[in-house]
Each structure stands twice: as structure tokens, then as C-alpha cells.
Amino acid sequence: MTIITLNKSMFKTHFFSALLTAALFSIPVKAQKSDSYVKKIDSIITSSVPLQFTGVVLVSQAGKTKYLKAHGYRDFDKKTPLKTNDQFEIMSNSKQITAVLVLQEAEKGTLDLQTPIKKYLPKLTQSWADTVTVHNLLNHTHGIVDTEKPLVIKPGSQFKYGNLSYALLGEILENTTKKKFTELAHSLFRKLKMNKTFCYDPQNKQSLVPGYRSENNQYQKVDETFINNELLPAAGIISTVQDLAKWDQALYKGKLLSSKYQKAMMTASTLSQHNVFGKENMGFGYSVRVIKEQGLDYFGITGLGDGFTCLNVYFPSTDTSVIVLENQMPRNSEYWSYKEATIKNAVLKSIISSH
């Protein structure tokens, strides 16, 4: 018989690893009743107070669809209704896909998360390129506001959100793999059978719906997108609620990353506040929020811009995804992600009440 002795540090590491694994891959003991949130979500998406909902909502459990409805229009002038399989710009939800691609390369040894980015982006001339690491780009603690200007914070000291870091991560991927970001992303989508997900292409929009800016339930179409090739890794992915449910099942069930890199992505390495999840600072990993709300642990990511609003949350205790894609962005910031938060709260309440 072999006796293994753990010192205090080793015990903490093993104990934390066990907790994380349990949280990520737990098999639900009791599932929430879908009818407890169905009527509530119905009332949320049909109410025009304080603003109308125009988008698609999907709730899935263990990979099975429990709720799927579209409400509103893909074209407000022609009153063309949305369909449940319409494609939306998912904005910053795109960053989660880029994070996985980076971590997959780290697994292969192509890049190292703790290495300064100068190694992968030799064109950078600022001295901070020898200090900021890939890790800092992934969790938005880099302090870069312009590649030609000094940092605004010491790397790793605090969270400052933006698109630039993920644009740089896209460059790092291309430099290390010698492949275009679009090629890397599309290869991943094919493996996951995310057949309606792709990188934005002005020449091939498929069933992409137009985005709208809204105010007082009046809508103005966004005619010119801010997405370009440089911003594809930060905000340029197009998808559907069904494909994002497939993504959740692959990501949170450990099908995309080894346990080491799964843990790195899902562990809070900095703190950030977002109104969808409350007024307090909560954990942030690699493009995933690590939330504890009303005693329940779960993961989430949001997206906003270009006339679109997106939310994707995953509750590991019941293997439940809540995905909301809207083709509107309110001009009044008070209502940003308002319906998304309300829908999430309805499902959250249902899960808590079933425990």
C-alpha cells in the first residue's frame, strides 16, 4: 500500500481543484421545473415596459431545449418577425471563443500565458510589452489603452475592460499558429457542429439580422458596423441561441480544454462589477464572470454594441444555460441589458426555489 502525504499547501490545491471540478461538472440532483419560469419569461418578452423586447430566448438543461421563443422584428420598417434560428452579432461574447483558442494553443505549448507579449508581438515598441503578459490580456488587467501610449495601470493591479486586448490576442494567435483568426474560429465551430456561427463578413451575412438603437420603443437601424478584421476576436462572431447552447455544453463540460486550462479560465483572477449580476464586484476569469448570487454559483458573459444586446449564463448545479440575443441596444444606458437581467433572474429564482 502506498501512503501519500499532503502538506498544507498541497492540500489547499487539491481541495480547491476538487471544489472547482464539482462546480463545473456536477450532475444535477434536482432539476428546476421549467413551468416555473416559462410564464414569467413570456410576460417579460411581451411587456413593453420599460422597453420592448426584440430577440430570441433559449433555456436549455442538460443539452435539451426547455424554452425557445422569438419576439419582435428583424426589420421594423417591414414588420418582418424574428425567427428562433436567426443570427445575431454576439459582441463581447466573442471574447470567450478567442480565450478558448488561446488556451488551446497554450496546451500545445505554442504560447505561454505568463510570458510577456513582446515575444509574440515583436512589432510593439512600448517598454510595457516586456511586462504585460498573455494572462493580463485575457483577464483585462493589462492597462493598455493605445499601443503607442504608456499604460494607465500597473499590469495585474485592476480590471479595465476593452476590446484592444482581445484584438491583440487575435494577432498573437495568428503569429503563433501562422493561420488567420477566421480559419481558427471556423475550424472550432465545425468541430462543435455550430453550423450557423461564423466570423463577421460583409460579403457573407447569411441570416444575420440588422441591429437597432432604441429609445422610447422607437428604432433606428444601425447602418454601419464598427466590426473590422482587427476586432473579430473581440466582438465579431455571429451566432444563434441554439449554437451558443452547443458552445456551453462543450465549454462547461470540459470538452474544449484540459482540466488545467479549464481551471485557469473559470477561476476568478480579478474582480469586476456588472449590473446584470448585481452592484458588487464579482470574480472575472478569462472572459467569463464567476458569479455568486443568492447563494448560487454560476458563470456568465454579456455583450453590447452595434445595435445588439447579448447574455449567456450557465448554472452548473442544474446544467442549465440561459441565452438571450436581442437586435436592439437602448440609447439610455439605464436600460442596457435590462430584459436580459430580468430573464436571467426568473430562471435563477426557479433554480433556487427547487433546491
User: What does the domain layout of the chain look like in residue ranges?
Assistant: 26-80+87-354
Q: Alpha helices of 93-155 — where are they, by DSSP H?
A: 94-108, 134-138
pLDDT digits (tens, 9 = 90+) for 213-264: 999 999 999 999 999 999 999 999 999 999 999 999 999 999 999 999 999 9
From 303, 300, 287, 289, select the one nearest 135 (Cα to Cα). Answer: 287
What pLDDT sits at residue 2?
32
Pairwise pLDDT comparison (20 vs 160), residue with the higher score: 160
Q: Answer yes or no: is pLDDT of 102 > 70.
A: yes
Half-sphere exposure for 266 (CA within 13 Å, toward CB): 27
From 188, 267, 266, 201, select the one nearest 229 (Cα to Cα). Answer: 201
What pLDDT sits at residue 36?
87
Q: Answer yes or no: is pLDDT of 20 > 90.
A: no
Mean pLDDT (whole number) for 189-204: 97
The CATH class for the domain spanning 26-80+87-354 reads alpha beta
Using DSSP, state whether 307 is helix, strand or coil: coil
pTM over 0.85: yes
